[in-house]
Amino acid sequence: MADTETETETEDGDGALEALETLSEVTTSSIEGLSEVNARLDSARKRRGEGWSWQRIVSSTDLAGSMGALVSIAADLGRASGEFRRSLAHVLRAEGLRLTEIGRFMDVSRQRVSALLRPRAHEYPSTLGGNGELSSPGWAPTQPSGER
């Protein structure tokens, strides 16, 4: 049954759909990784409860690896969810929604929506020449007055 609201057909190359699929895959992978980390943390907690020293626990378990895995999982989720939010903002804007409406759907401010819609730094053509100097001939850094 179709919604009464205007719907856009899903096209090949739907960036939001691709980002959603990636987010789903990363979430599933994160659940598996978090289960493994939780098992290691539970083992360390039990050993500590049995009176083991922290030195003995750390040397006999992969507690440091667990911390690294948590950082990696959080980073992966952050990247995937950020890409989905950015793609979703673009699609909703293309469908004619105002920034405030998109913000309401995403539970963010219209300023945040505006930031999501701006091209990222790596999407801009490089302004640096091959020698690392700015290729725009009219621009030069200014020096504070009195310093030459």
Residue 38: closest CA among 17, 62, 21, 19 = 62
Q: Note whether 26 and 74 are within 8 A (CB).
A: no
Short-list 17, 55, 60, CA closest to 40: 60
pLDDT digits (tens, 9 = 90+) for 55-114: 999 888 788 888 899 999 999 999 999 999 999 999 999 999 999 999 999 999 999 999
pTM across the whole model:
0.65
Quote the distance between the C-alpha of residue 54 and its chain's center: 34
145 pLDDT more than 80: no
Q: What is the pLDDT of residue 98?
A: 96
For the stretch 35-57, pLDDT in tens is 999 999 999 999 999 999 999 99
